[in-house]
Structure 1
Amino acid sequence: MSRAPLVTILDDEPEIRQMLSAALEEAGFRTMGFGRATEFEAALKSHTPDLCLVDLSLPDRDGLTLVHRLALEQGATVIIVSGRAQVQDRVTGLELGADDYIIKPFDPAEVVARVRARLRDRPAAAAGTTARFAGWTAHFDRFALEDETGAETPFSHAEGEVLRLFLERPKRLISRAAMQESLGGAAGESFDRAMDVRISRLRQKLREDPKNPRLIKTIYGAGYIFLGDVEWG
């Protein structure tokens, strides 16, 4: 029997940690709560969470820096839970690799629903963990791009979601609306900006010419298309 997904909660307010833990455990998840980033990072040495809920206002660390590290170095699924409601904060969090952004105050049921939505695609993703295309190999099990020499470049979980979307639909137009539907999150400026940044970073990691990319093409006013041949393994 498989174990329930583990959700870590990093927030310096004990009441919020307790409220989220109660709601998530009632919904069938395991939880671990932390009030400081140092405690959370120490726990990561012996635990691998399926999803991390991270507040940006931490007493001992900048939350945005931690989000970027979790997403890029560990390939973690990250949802920011923050009182910072400005559009720029949401955009920055998504650009740094967060998968979603929830503004305080919130309904615990909404957080549970967002967590479920983010974890729902994981079993399907396990069906194909490696894809080969244009001299590259994408390893979705360890969030890395491998070139023909064997050198690897890490990518974040959020970047991996976009890359997988392209590789699963090669040579087909993918509209912004289709991306939003597949990847989740609220449509609007924050989502569009986050997608632009993630696609730009993927192009850089694939060593694309930004003025004339050969793999990920922008079809202005319509969306994107991935032009490579893809073999899944």
Structure 2
Amino acid sequence: MTQPLVTILDDEPAIRSMLTDALEEAGFRTLAFARATEFEAALRRTTPDVCLVDLGLPDRDGLTLVHRLALEQGATVIIISGRAQVQDRVTGLELGADDYIIKPFDPAEVVARVRARLRSTRTSAPQSDTARFNGWTVHFDRYALENTTGRETPFSHAEGEVLRLFLQAPKRLITRAQMQESLGGGAGETFDRAMDVRISRLRTKLGEDPKNPRLIKTIYGAGYIFLGDVSWG
């Protein structure tokens, strides 16, 4: 069985070396890059399982890159950054990152977070990558929502994880605690705000009335219920 591939994008040689050593010792394959241009060129030749991305890059805005990776590549993205403010973390998660690790960090924590993201992806994956509900078809293999006319709307990996969670448990209450356990990616206010944004974006893409959504209902003080009729395959 091929070991998962983790790409590392950070302009600090010591951090690239430290992460490479820790991840390879834990059994992962790695590719490390100092510049976004090199990293993006490599993505045209290979598909990583997890991308570790520093925000302070010399040749590209890190947040813009994270958003493009999440939306266009459907990649699992973990931000590694010295920006420790809550708003920075929320912004990163809102733009599609799956997790956010603040520098300085223990390499063992990064390894644990990578394993958690891979475990979440494996355990949440249904037998089919296609699901249908209320006139919509969702293609998890290419991160796209298709309507009845065939028009497709892309969604990020992080948005897809939320949608997958709803589709696997239709017409059942999903609490914030259950979402936190299944999806990870921060805690407390950071997690709550990131979830609010992802759900809001999913509602927009599904053409929902924000004041009276029909599919993703908020149960105030409890969580959410997805009211669609779902079939897989």
CA distance in 2, matches of 1:222, 1:187: 17
Q: Which runs of 5+ in 2 are unaligned?
A: none
Q: Does 1:97 align with 2:96?
A: yes
Corresponding residue SS for 2:173: coil
Displacement after TM superposition at 1:174 (Å): 0.9
CA distance in 1, matches of 2:126, 2:171: 23
CA distance in 2, matches of 1:22, 1:126: 33
Tell me which residue corresponds to 2:231. 231
Displacement after TM superposition at 1:127 (Å): 2.0
Corresponding residue SS for 1:174: strand
Displacement after TM superposition at 1:122 (Å): 3.1
CA distance in 2, matches of 1:199, 1:20: 33
Tell me which residue corresponds to 1:19. 18
CA distance in 2, matches of 1:215, 1:45: 36
CA distance in 2, matches of 1:110, 1:35: 22
Q: Over aligned residues, Cα RMSD in angstroms?
A: 0.9
Could you tell me the percent identity over the aligned residues?
83
Q: Deviations over 1:170-228 (max 9, x none)?
A: 00111111111111133211000000000000001101111111000011111110001
Displacement after TM superposition at 1:101 (Å): 0.2
Corresponding residue SS for 1:182: helix
CA distance in 2, matches of 1:76, 1:184: 16
Tell me which residue corresponds to 2:105. 106
CA distance in 1, matches of 2:126, 2:6: 19
Contact 2:120–2:182 (Cα < 8 Å) also in 1: no
Q: Does 1:199 align with 2:199?
A: yes
Tell me which residue corresponds to 1:149. 149
Contact 2:12–2:34 (Cα < 8 Å) also in 1: yes
Corresponding residue SS for 1:186: coil
Corresponding residue SS for 1:118: helix
Count residues with an aligned counterpart: 232
Q: Which runs of 5+ in 1 are unaligned?
A: none
Displacement after TM superposition at 1:73 (Å): 0.7
Displacement after TM superposition at 1:126 (Å): 5.3
Displacement after TM superposition at 1:149 (Å): 1.1
The one-letter code matched in structure 2 to 1:219 is I
Displacement after TM superposition at 1:19 (Å): 0.4
CA distance in 1, matches of 2:87, 2:121: 29
Displacement after TM superposition at 1:47 (Å): 1.0
